[in-house]
Every structure is written in C-alpha cells, then in structure tokens.
Amino acid sequence: MPSVQSASPVLPASKPDPSSAVWAMLVCLLTGFALSQAFRTVTSIIADGLRSDFGLSAQSLGSFAGLFALSFGVAQLIMGIGMDIYGLRRTVLMTFPLSIAGAVLSAMAPSYSWLMLGQLLIGIGCSPAFLASTMFIARHFPADKFAYMSGIGLGLGGLGLLFTGTPMAWLVQHMGWRAGFALLAVLSVLSWLLIFFKVHEPKIASDSQPKPGFIEALQGFGSLLLLPHTWGIVLLGMVSYASFLTVRGLWLSPMLMDRYQFSLVTTGNVALASSIISLFVPSMFGRLDPGPALRRQRIARFALLMAATFVGLALVHHPVWSVVLLLVMSTLSGYGTLIYADVRSSYPPATTGRALSIFTMAMFLGAALMQWLSGIVAGIAERQGSDIYQAVMLMVASMLGMGVLAYRVIKPSPLLQKVMH
C-alpha cells in the first residue's frame, strides 16, 4: 500500500473529478481484487470434492481455507512497503503471477500438501490487489468521496463472489474441483494482461518526494502500532470481515448440504444470491455514511446485528430461515465500508496509507485465525457428536462481539475526539 509519504492521499476534497482513463485503470485493478475474492471463497464450493478426494477432516478444511487469509495477511506489510518503493502497478505485476502458479499447482495437486502449497502461493499473489485498488482511490479520487468510492470498489470486486456461486458450483459438479482452479488460473492471466497494458498511474504531487528505504518504511508502520486507538480499529478489523468470510467462504455450502441435503448447485444459487447482494450494499453503506461524529456508533450497532445473525444461524434449523439469515448476513456485510472510512478519518493525511495497510493486514490475519479456529471447533464438535455448524456460528458470533467491545472501550483517535465532542 502506498506509504508514509507517497501513499497518502495528499490532495484535498476539492480535487477535480477523475477522468475516464482513471476510472478505466481502477476497473482494471479491481479485476485482480475480484479474482482474489473468488480465490478466497471457492473453498465453500469445492469443500465436498476435497473431502472426497483427500479425506479431509473439518479441521483440515478450516486450515486450508485459513491459509489463504494467513498468507494474504502476512504479505500485506511487504506489499505496503513494496508500493512505497516501487509503486502500485509494479508491485501488482511482480506479485500476481504467484497466484497464477498457485492456481495451476492446485488444479494438478496430487495430495493435500501440494494443495496447501498452491493455496500459499495464491494468497501471496493476490495480496496487493485490494491494497492497490484502495490506495488508487485515495490518490486519484476526491477525499470526501472515499467511503462511497471504496463501496463501489468493494462492490465491483464482489463480482468474484458471483463467480464462486452458481457458475463455479455448476462447473465443479460437472467437471470437478480441479477445473475450477484451472479456470481461475486462466482468468488471472487475463487480469494480469489488463493491468500490464492499461494501468499507468497518473503522477501526483507527492510522487516528487524521495522514496523511503525499507527500514524507514518499516519504522513508519511500526509507529502506528504504538498508538492506542490503532488497536481498537485493529481488533474490530480482525473479526469484522473474518466473520463474513468464514461463513460465506468456508461453511455456507457444507452447512446447507449437511443440514438440509441441498445439492451443490442449489447451495451455489444461495451463494450467488448472497454475492449479488454483496455487490450493492458497500456503496449503499458508503452513501449512508453519517460522518465521523456518528460513524463509530453506527459501526458498532451494525456489527452487533451481524453477531445476532450468526446466533440465529446457530439456533435456527429450518432451510428457508437459514437462507434468509445468510442473505441478511450479506446485506449487513456492507458496514465494512464505514470501517474503512473510520480508518481514514482517524489519522492525518501523511499516515493514511500506512493505517489502511495495517487495517487490511489485520482483516486477513483475523480471517486466517477465525477460519483456523472454526476448523478446530468443528473438529471438536464432530468428535463429540454435536452440531458442528452450531458450534462454529456461536464461535463466530462470540469473536465478533469481543471485537465490538474492544472497539468501543478503547478511546478513538484524538482527531475523532475533537469532532465527536
């Protein structure tokens, strides 16, 4: 993610509206983000095939899904520094081929170990996609439109979620899970070519400043972690997106198939409906942004509603109501746009890039942790003969509730305190 100096959105809210060329470049960058969304949610659709071919337990399945988020999250810091030094375009072009290699390896994997190696490569390869898109928006779009534009970016990136609904379910049912990875590899090549030929980032004023060295950039990130309010944002960030991803990207399909005997394509239809909702709700939440004075309170309320939805999924054992709750979950997931806006408002412009990078890293490390823990919880419940999905949903709800508590207890940024009082 852009950096300390270079990554920060230095232009004021009055910067002119971006040109059509800038919009086209953003769309090209978002194709990479859309594919990372597809890669991180494909496990839900291929889970049954993986369990059949490799005899995977619930815990192994959770570890597989979590490895993407872990490698993606750990790589965020390196990607952020890389974008500081080399720029957005070069960092994406240098890294994304790893996801292509990982997808090809996964399609050919002879064992679970090779599959895990492919997942590791995919996670690292996809890691700059969202950072690059977010910081492109921060650098080239008006500051007062950041929440709205981030919502549009999340929505367009959600096209990848559409692909891992009915289309991927149909493909996997008729041609197997390996064909799914093969197709994702081909689409990743096309995305890389689009970025290579079409993305040439316009210069802005801060580009003339000296680029930081590796140690200087690393110290810049570390300094933000010494600020107390950073940890309130980080702790919520670790569970907010993770809760949605753990259900949508891992347990949605197995739960509907095991509890209600849905077919794979039917679960794909539910995932598709969920993804269609996810296309539109981020920009809707961005438009409804109440501003920094009331935003944090609203974020906490939406997160608690999301936690209540997971409790409902744990306790309700009816196919129609379970599907309704999954669609409610998708609708509420749009509140993540407000958290990004909160991050941007909590720091001065010179550190916005670093703050967004840290938050993105927290999101995906949290997703890795939650998916891994969900596999452990599911494994324990399975051995005890309990409902594994009830155990998983209650765990997700509890972690989200604790994240909200930390967010509300830890005082916000001094910048926000001035606005709120």
Q: Please determine, for residue 4, whether its predicted confidence score (pLDDT) is greater than 50.
A: no
Output the pLDDT for position 201.
80
CA distance readout (Å), 110 to 46, 66, 107, 125 = 16, 20, 9, 22
Measured on CA atoms in the order 120, 125, 129, 132, is the torsion positive or negative? Answer: positive
Could you give the percent of the chain with pLDDT greater than 70? Answer: 93
**Each residue's pLDDT tens digit, 137-190:** 888 888 777 778 888 888 888 888 888 888 999 999 999 999 999 999 999 999
Q: How is residue 55 written in tokens?
A: 């005899």
Token look-up 């890691």 returns 127
Its CATH architecture, for the domain 20-199+224-410, is Up-down Bundle (1.20)
Residue 7: pLDDT band with limits 50, 70, 90: very low
Q: How is residue 153 written in tokens?
A: 């970016």
- From the list 107, 100, 88, 68, the residue with the least C-alpha distance to 2 is 88
Output the pLDDT for position 400.
98
**Each residue's pLDDT tens digit, 213-236:** 777 777 878 888 899 999 999 999
Output the pLDDT for position 208.
63
In order, the DSSP letters of 268-298 are HHHHHHHHHHHHHHHHHHHHT---HHHHHHH
Output the pLDDT for position 207.
61
Q: Give the SS3 label for residue 332.
A: helix
Output the pLDDT for position 150.
81
pTM for this prediction: 0.79
Measured in degrees and rounded to the nearest 5, phi and psi for residue 289 equal: -55, 120
Give CA angle at 363 (18, 408), nearest 5°: 100
Q: What is the mean pLDDT of residues 311-323?
A: 97
Output the pLDDT for position 99.
97
82 or 209: which carries more pLDDT confidence?
82
Break the chain into its structural domains and give their ranges.
20-199+224-410
**Each residue's pLDDT tens digit, 364-405:** 899 889 999 999 999 999 999 999 999 999 999 999 999 999
Q: Please determine, for residue 406, whether its predicted confidence score (pLDDT) is greater than 90.
A: yes
Query: What average pLDDT does the structure give for the chain?
Result: 88
Asked which of 262-266, 356-360, 402-406 is least confident by mean pLDDT, the reply is 356-360
103 or 150: which carries more pLDDT confidence?
103
d(CA 168, CA 161): 10
Q: Please determine, for residue 19, whether its predicted confidence score (pLDDT) is greater than 90.
A: no
Residue 421: pLDDT band with limits 50, 70, 90: low
**Each residue's pLDDT tens digit, 25-75:** 999 999 999 999 999 889 989 999 999 999 998 889 989 999 998 999 889
Q: What is the mean pLDDT of residues 238-254?
A: 92
Output the pLDDT for position 280.
86
What SS3 string covers 361-401? Answer: HHHHHHHHHHHHHHHHHHHHHHHCCCCHHHHHHHHHHHHHH
| Own/partner long-range contacts of 291-298 (Cβ < 8 Å, ≥24 apart) | 292/342, 292/345, 292/416, 292/419, 292/420, 293/419, 293/420, 295/338, 295/341, 295/342, 295/345, 296/342, 296/407, 296/408, 296/412, 296/416, 296/420, 298/335, 298/338
d(CA 53, CA 51): 6
Output the pLDDT for position 139.
82
d(CA 72, CA 121): 9
Output the pLDDT for position 85.
80
d(CA 131, CA 147): 15
CA distance readout (Å), 162 to 54, 57, 119, 249 = 27, 27, 20, 12
CA distance readout (Å), 48 to 89, 173, 354 = 37, 10, 39
